[in-house]
């Protein structure tokens, strides 16, 4: 599958760089031609001689080498490849990539390339979990860069958690997948509908009922699904957020409008209902601003129940999406309430989170969620909402992959 494919391998620093030597040989065994750039930090762990010997080509290290620039040049080096593979991709390398820095040969080649890029992160567990790294990863994925790993396990430093570089066999499999289909886009050909944000239910022309939802988690999920190749329709209540890349956005205000837009977007393969839809609306909205009574008595407001968008999708008789995911924002007995909600609504998964005031989750940048399915509950580590979105998008892609294999 990789016969005559040209791969530019950029080797970053870190103890995981030793895996790059095996990676070179395994890529060659699959028929690929491998040319390597070794960063200054990477050269602290593997030598240019070892890289050159295994790749059977010159090992490029210096942006300002007169000989290298005369013979090859960083522009040609970056563009004569079919794929640029960064393994290991350190936190520093990914930060430079995310923000367009180019102060050495590796980052200059990455900025100058017009070819697909795949990164294989490897770093300490705390570095991987850091908000800055997760923000950078979100930017890279939004730019269409494919990501392999990282894996969880024991680090060279002795700590345990996510951050280990993926096994060489898994990297090879990801490279093969790239050349057999769209780069890192396992949801290609699928349509996802995502709801996000609050709804505004009018009381009169100047007042409305709403909630504290910022829409950040729903927008992040829409972007993560699009990054994996899905065609995404984002049905959004009022927010101040920019539309994620490659996402079609439909703006609504009330719950009834959100349901109408969702139904109009069908058919869909995936539905992720993240929006904090108001449970009630005012029955008989006042056409004029409600004025204070001279007596000081508060006005009497009668409520009516809003449509249940998640239940409607989950129980749709003809156009139910293959996978329906709901969110349960609770303030007490979170797992119990969320589990009953999944059963009551009929959705496949519920993502439960505690949005009580002290958590700071509603409207904040982080989330702590538990995925509840028919198989049980799985709590995820607290993370940036973009990281949660990527994890959910990956789980959705895995679900469809297993479904295809079983069919």
Task: Give the three-class secondary structure for 84.
Answer: strand
Active-site residue flag, 157:
yes
- Residue among 59, 157, 273, 347 flagged as catalytic: 157
Question: What contacts 313, CB < 8 A, 6 or more positions away?
Answer: 262, 271, 273, 320, 321, 324, 347
Contacts of 103 (CB under 8 A, 6+ apart): 96
User: Please, which residues bridge with residue 384 across strands?
Assistant: 366
Would you say 279 is a known binding-site residue? yes
Distance, in Å, from the CA atom of 347 to the CA atom of 314, rounded to the nearest integer, reads 5
Q: Measured between alpha carbons, how far is 218 from 385 in angstroms, rounded to an integer?
A: 9
Residue 146 and residue 83: Cα distance in Å, rounded? 11
45 annotated ligand-binding residue: no
Q: Is 186 annotated as a binding residue?
A: no
Is 241 annotated to bind ligand? no
246-to-151, 213, 215, 226, 322 alpha-carbon distances in Å: 28, 23, 17, 6, 22
The annotation status of 289 as a binding-site residue, yes or no, is yes
Is 341 labelled a binding residue? yes
Q: Is 216 annotated as a binding residue?
A: no
In whole angstroms, what is the distance from residue 304 CA to residue 287 CA?
Answer: 17
CB 360 within 8 A of CB 191: no
Strand intervals (E) in 12-65: 33-38, 59-60
The burial class, CB within 10 Å (0-12 / 13-18 / 19+), for 319 is: exposed
Establish whether 327 is an annotated binding residue.
Answer: yes
User: Annotation-wise, does 64 bind a ligand?
Assistant: no
Q: What is the DSSP letter of 143?
A: T
Query: Structure tokens of 406?
Result: 């079983």
Q: Count H helices and E strands in the chain, helices first.
A: 14, 22
Show binding-site residues for CTP: 279, 289, 307-310, 327, 341, 345
Show binding-site residues: 279, 289, 307-310, 327, 341, 345
What amino acid positions are annotated as catalytic residues?
Answer: 157
């Amino acid at each position: 599958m990789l016969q005559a494919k040209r791969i530019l391998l950029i080797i970053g620093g870190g103890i995981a760089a030793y895996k790059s030597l095996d990676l070179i040989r395994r890529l060659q065994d699959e028929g690929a031609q491998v040319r390597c750039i070794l960063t200054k930090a990477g050269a602290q762990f593997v030598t240019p001689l070892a890289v050159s010997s295994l790749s059977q080509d010159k090992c490029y290290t210096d942006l300002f080498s007169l000989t290298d620039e005369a013979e090859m040049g960083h522009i040609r080096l970056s563009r004569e490849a079919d794929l640029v593979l960064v393994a290991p991709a350190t936190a520093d390398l990914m930060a430079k990539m995310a923000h367009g820095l180019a102060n050495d040969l590796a980052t200059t080649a990455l900025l100058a390339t017009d070819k697909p890029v795949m990164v294989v992160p490897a770093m300490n567990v705390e570095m991987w979990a850091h908000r800055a790294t997760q923000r950078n990863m979100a930017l890279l994925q939004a730019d269409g860069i494919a990501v392999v790993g990282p894996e969880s396990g024991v680090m060279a430093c002795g700590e345990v958690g996510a951050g280990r570089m993926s096994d060489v066999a898994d990297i090879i499999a990801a490279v093969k997948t790239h050349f057999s289909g769209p780069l890192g886009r396992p949801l290609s050909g699928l349509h996802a509908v995502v709801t996000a944000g609050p709804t505004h239910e009018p009381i009169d022309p100047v007042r409305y009922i709403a909630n504290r939802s910022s829409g950040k988690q729903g927008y992040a999920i829409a972007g993560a699904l699009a990054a994996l190749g899905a065609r995404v329709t984002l049905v959004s209540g009022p927010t101040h957020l920019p539309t994620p890349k490659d996402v079609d956005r439909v703006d609504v205000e009330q719950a009834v409008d959100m349901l109408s837009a969702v139904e109009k977007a069908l058919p869909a393969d995936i539905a992720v209902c993240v929006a904090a839809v108001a449970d009630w609306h005012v029955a008989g909205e006042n056409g004029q601003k409600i004025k204070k009574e001279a007596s000081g008595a508060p006005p009497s407001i009668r409520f009516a129940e809003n449509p249940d968008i998640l239940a409607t999708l989950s129980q749709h008789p003809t156009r139910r999406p293959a996978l329906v995911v709901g969110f349960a924002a609770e303030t007490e007995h979170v797992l119990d309430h969320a589990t009953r909600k999944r059963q009551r609504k009929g959705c496949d998964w519920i993502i439960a989170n505690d949005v009580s005031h002290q958590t700071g989750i509603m409207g904040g940048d982080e989330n702590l969620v538990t995925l509840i399915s028919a198989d049980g509950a799985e709590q995820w580590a607290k993370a940036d909402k973009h990281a949660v979105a990527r994890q959910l998008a990956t789980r959705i892609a895995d679900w469809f992959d297993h479904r295809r294999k079983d069919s």
